[in-house]
Amino acid sequence: MEVLYFAWLRERIGLPRERVETTAPTVMALIEELKAREDRYALAFSDLKSLRVALDQKLSSLDAPLAGVREVAFFPPMTGG
Amino acid sequence: MEVLYFAWLRERIGLPRERVETTAPTVMALIEELKAREDRYALAFSDLKSLRVALDQKLSSLDAPLAGVREVAFFPPMTGG
Amino acid sequence: MRLSVQEAAFDAGAELNAFSASVAGAGAVVSFTGLVRDSDGSLQAMEIEHYPGMTQAAIADIAAQAQTRWSLTDVLVIHRYGRLEPGALIMMVATASRHRIAAFEAAAFLMDYLKSRAPFWKKEIGRDGATWVAAKDEDEAALERW
Amino acid sequence: MRLSVQEAAFDAGAELNAFSASVAGAGAVVSFTGLVRDSDGSLQAMEIEHYPGMTQAAIADIAAQAQTRWSLTDVLVIHRYGRLEPGALIMMVATASRHRIAAFEAAAFLMDYLKSRAPFWKKEIGRDGATWVAAKDEDEAALERW
């Protein structure tokens, strides 16, 4: 699965995207896996209230299932306009 | 006193402005005077709900006093914008 | 603040660019442009009458009210009178503010008041004759929002 | 309907004129222009990051929602990304409708959704370093209007 990071999540984790092999059933489970990897992930995902997720380029929620998903993107609340 | 007419009031009465000598105490009294003059005035002022008035170029009401007023303008509801 | 009542045509895009360039502190610019609409192809022209002595002052009063109610960097109002062809620009307003919601609300307020409180009257000239545009109850009701 | 996500600068006035010229049946055109604001003179640039695969589709979805909710003749959205200088245009929306209130509401709706639901992130580069612009609670709350 491709995992993408944007804005300060990208900066804290230190890369814009990576390939992740996982059997995590939900977004939240994937986050827990990533947080357990290294401090930079734990820091990036420390504030779940400021975390948004898109699954295959559609906004979704942290409790959404990952079955069949090819691209997961994590980012802070959007600030367009 | 100068009396001005705009839009379909001007067309019905047949002139854009005229000098009127009057002692009418209020706008409404002036309207009654004008209506008594000729049919074209009676027709122009037949629908008071569709009548607006400005006294010295400020929107006012039909029961406003005319003391000290130099210019009275009658017109239908405005359609700017 | 530029408030213009004029017979001449104007370039809304050039006005918008000039307005935006002059409001460096603002993050948000809202514009409204009103055009002569020809729904069914029968309109030949629109004639706009106004009350020359009163129009400019009425617009200035409406703009001053907007500036009292919202924090605006600047306000622009241009309104034409005379004979206009279908598709021509009738008028525009623009508002600039730090915040988008103030700019939107102030522009909508200006339009509601210009529509029903500035001394303009529109007449549509069609193939079968001329008709004065009737004020709509909903336009009067729109003022109650503010 | 023109929806553009682009790095290049654009001319809001020229866009407004082209948009207005193409919507003959509409009487009302509303535009919003967002500029890089430099309140205190310390901003050097704004950097806008976006999610290339998702941005265009997210904007198209927001525009389609607006067209479902209001009777619109046309919709325009332009949003830049990359490095922008103070005073530069970030984005614009324009809406055209027969009636002014629909055009105003649809433009405000588009802005509220673009602000919080299109994948853009702004970073302010100042003399003392860079800061990601924080989303405001009021922007999230603004969505509840619709």
Output the domain CATH number for residue A70. Answer: 3.10.20.30
pLDDT-above-90 percentage for chain C: 92
Helix (H) or strand (E) holding C14: helix C12-21
Q: What is the pLDDT of residue C73?
A: 97
Q: What is the pLDDT of residue C40?
A: 75
Query: Could D101 and C25 be called an inter-chain contact, meaning their C-beta atoms sit closer than 8 Å?
Result: no
B partners (3+ CB pairs within 8 A) are: C
In the numeric block, which tokens belong to residue B49? 């709900």
pLDDT tens-place string over residues D79-135:
999 999 999 999 999 999 999 999 999 999 999 999 999 999 999 999 889 999 999
pLDDT in tens, A8-42: 999 999 999 999 999 999 999 999 999 999 999 99
pTM of the model: 0.96
Residue D39 has pLDDT above 80, yes or no: no
What are the pLDDT digits (tens) for A64-73? 999 999 999 9
Q: What is the pLDDT of residue A52?
A: 98
Residue B75, pLDDT > 80, answer yes
Torsion A53-A58-A64-A66 (CA) sign = negative
**Mean pLDDT score of chain D, rounded to an integer?**
95
User: Nearest CA to CA, how far is C74 from chain B (Å)?
Assistant: 19
For residue A81, being part of any structural domain is answered with no
**Partner-chain contact D14 C13, CB within 8 Å:** yes
pLDDT at D4: 98
Q: Within a domain: residue A80?
A: no
Question: Is position A59 within any domain?
Answer: yes
Domains in chain D and their CATH numbers?
2-143 (3.90.1170.40)
pLDDT mean by block of 10 residues, chain C; 146 residues: 97 98 92 89 94 97 98 98 96 97 98 97 94 93 92
Task: Concatenate the DSSP letters of all residues of chain D into one string.
Answer: -EEEEESS---HHHHHHHHHHT-TT-SEEEEEEEE---SSS-EEEEEEEE-HHHHHHHHHHHHHHHHHHS--SEEEEEEE-EEE-TT-EEEEEEEEESSHHHHHHHHHHHHHHHHHHS-EEEEEEETTEEEEPPPPHHHHHHGGG-
pLDDT at position D24 over 80: no
How many domains is chain A built from?
Answer: 1
**By residue range, what is the domain housing residue A12?**
2-75
Distance, CA of C122 to CA of C13 (rounded, Å): 24
**Residue C136: helix, strand or coil by DSSP?**
coil
Residue A8 lies in a domain: yes
pLDDT of residue D41: 80
Q: Which residue is closest to C89 within chain B, CA to CA?
A: B81
